[in-house]
Amino acid sequence: MLRRSVGTSGLTVGRLGLGTMTWGRDTRPDDAKEVLRAFVAAGGDLVDTAPAYSRGAAERILGRLLRTDVDRDDVVIATKAGFTFRDGVRVVDTSRRVLLDDLYESLRRLGTDHIDVWQVHAWGQAPLEETLAALDHAVSTGVVRYAGVSNFVGWQTAAAATWQSAFPGRARLVSNQVEYSLLARRAEVEVLPALRHFEMGFFPWSPMGRGVLTGKYRGGVPRDSRAATAHFGWYVEPYLEARSRAVVEAVAKAADGLGVSPLQVAWLWVRDAPGVTAPLLGVRTAAQLAPYLEAEPMTLPPEIAAALDDVSGGQNEARST
């Protein structure tokens, strides 16, 4: 698998990242094991998780696999902090206390002495300088190698990155992750320009449009799909409307012409979009992972990528610069 630098930091990762949001819920531990084995065997290393994923179960599963199936040195662990549960309700809390509590609980669940990329999971109500001071503490004490953010919009990214670069010794922010796919291109408006300006990496989540860009919903909602579940139906439903269907049909048409699958076309578009470091792919089985690994040597013809830009929201200005 080809590797990319995370912004202008010294960290490099494979250009396919593995997301674990469904681990411990829709992805069984045995399936997670097979996925991780296949991913690492193919040269992948970036594994993204969070304490909020299945209330810590995703991190616990990953931690067990790092003890039994995959060497810790073969993976780049990216986890997060700032989502907590109160009275059964998930809330954002980016205070120093909660962030550092999350960090040390993550280290315990993962069974490791350090996190490679530690990210603030979302913008919160705590003072920004307090939130970022927690990142500084984690990096300066050696339990975190690199610091990043998640789900920060453009101005939030700029505010945080500017604060960190204003004084020597603060931990530089190396990455952000927000939703980005052919069905969700809002990141191109402000987030990606901010990342380019501050020379940060970009880890798109839900690069397959919450599964819709695989084409599995073209004939309806399969019984075994996320859209058919009570806990994920709400998540997929916004991308089952007419505009999204038109994009999916365009992807399918391109796939027919290229002799590949629709999911591979949609994957290649986002993987090689300007500014992208490594999309985070949330597969549930090794069989689902296989076609993405098969697409590693492939590239989209420029005219196909541009046509998909046009049908999904318009020209990507960064592609032509």
Catalytic residue numbers?
53
Tokens of 68: 């039994």
Q: Are 52 and 83 in contact (CB under 8 A)?
A: yes
Phi-psi region of 6 (alpha: psi -120 to 50; beta: other; left: phi over 0): beta
CA atoms within 13 A on the CB side of 215: 16
Q: Which residues 6+ apart lie within 8 Å of 276 measured at CB? A: 180, 202, 204, 270
List phi, psi (to 5°) of 282: -105, 75
DSSP string of 160-174? Answer: HHHHHHSSTTSPPEE
Q: Which residues 6+ apart lie within 8 Å of 298 measured at CB? A: 260, 264, 268
The span from the CA of 278 to the CA of 204, in Å, is: 7
Q: Are 77 and 116 in contact (CB under 8 A)?
A: yes
Q: Three-state SS for 37? A: helix
Give the CA-trace dihedral at 180, 184, 190, 193, to 10 degrees.
Answer: 40
The span from the CA of 264 to the CA of 194, in Å, is: 28
Tokens of 15: 């250009």
